[in-house]
Structure 1
Amino acid sequence: MIVEERLRVSSRRDLSEIERKRLEKALKILASATSYGIWAQMDRIEDEEKVEITCHGIDPEPFTCKVANPDVPGEFCFPPLASLITGGARLMLALLEHCVSELGGEYVMEDTDSMAVVATEHGGLVPCFGGPFEMKDGRSAIRALSWQQVDGISERFRKLNPYRDKARSILKVERDNYDPATGKQRQLYCLAVSAKRYALFVRDEDGNPVLLKRA
């Protein structure tokens, strides 16, 4: 219900852009906290006196140690339920990886609920150091999907959308892919080290990079 309300807020015209963004962010935090956060919540006890606790790690058997300021489970803490949320996201990304790879495509990076797929308007080879293919000029390359193929993948995931309003895909094409002035899709470029270390940009008429987003 909270997620559906957030979708409705994005189309409200009785709010200013600032009010809309604030409300969207508040609803996003509320949805995250109530659908996942409370099930994984651990509360810190402020106590400098060390107490003995049991620790569970990668080894088969737990071990004990003494720590100050230990964490205790929150009121609604239930890790098995929290793991269903994150496990569902990992399953979704695994399915997405399969959809991209079965078309012969590649992706730059992926985060907890998103993926940057290598794509151009018509698909085909694009230069990439270490790629398994070769351009006509001898440069290494990888195969890019076409925008139409990416839209097709998004449509497949639309059927998994559990929400009633605006039955769009749970893996939609981000708005950065569209020119805000014309609304037409444009070519994006990305330099990435990891999911949290990347730069997203377009090129101007002279071929110079124009930064859109960085993380």
Structure 2
Amino acid sequence: MNSFASLRPAHYLWFALLAAGSFLLAYLALRPQPPTEPLAEFKSWQAPLLQPLAEGRLSLAQLVDAAPGELWLQPRLEGPRLLYRAELAENGRTWAVEAELSLTSEQRQSLQQATAAQVADGEVPLGAGLRDELGPQKIAQLLIKPGSALVAEASLLPTFGPPRLRLQLAAGEAWVYPEQGLTIHLAERQLVLLHWLPVARMKAQLKD
């Protein structure tokens, strides 16, 4: 008996639908995808924040103007650090900001002596008065983390361009942009952290 004779019209319809579905999936897979939009906030932050930091001239006062926040004292074995923490919100996204103030060894030692009792229990917030007093102090490094909204890897290339270096890490990957003083940390194709340094400092580290 011819096996095709046992096929009903409904079977032919099913095969036709299956073939059409396969062609549709293949077309969607091969169709050019629209380009991912860049993260527009980084363009607006370039002049007031990112360019001055890259040039080593971003001050605490400039950062406070862009993102009001708090100054924190963090104890470390090599001497305390001063960290400024705030949030930046734009284009429906919120970003957590942490900046470390640039301190000389003498300033670090003086700060350690003056606050030895305060830091016994860990990090402590410092008042707005001291934050304003330290306004001219330069920023040594800037960390920016995405808030509640996930930021996909695909949006980073149109924002920052192709990286000079790609480094595989124990957990994820790092994209390095020496000319911008930027290192991008990713995990599972999602942005984890943007780490900015003055360009001269980053290039010195890469030489080492």
Higher relative contact order (CA 8 A, sep 6+): 2
* TM-score between both structures, scaled by the size of structure 2: 0.22
**Bigger CA radius of gyration:** 2
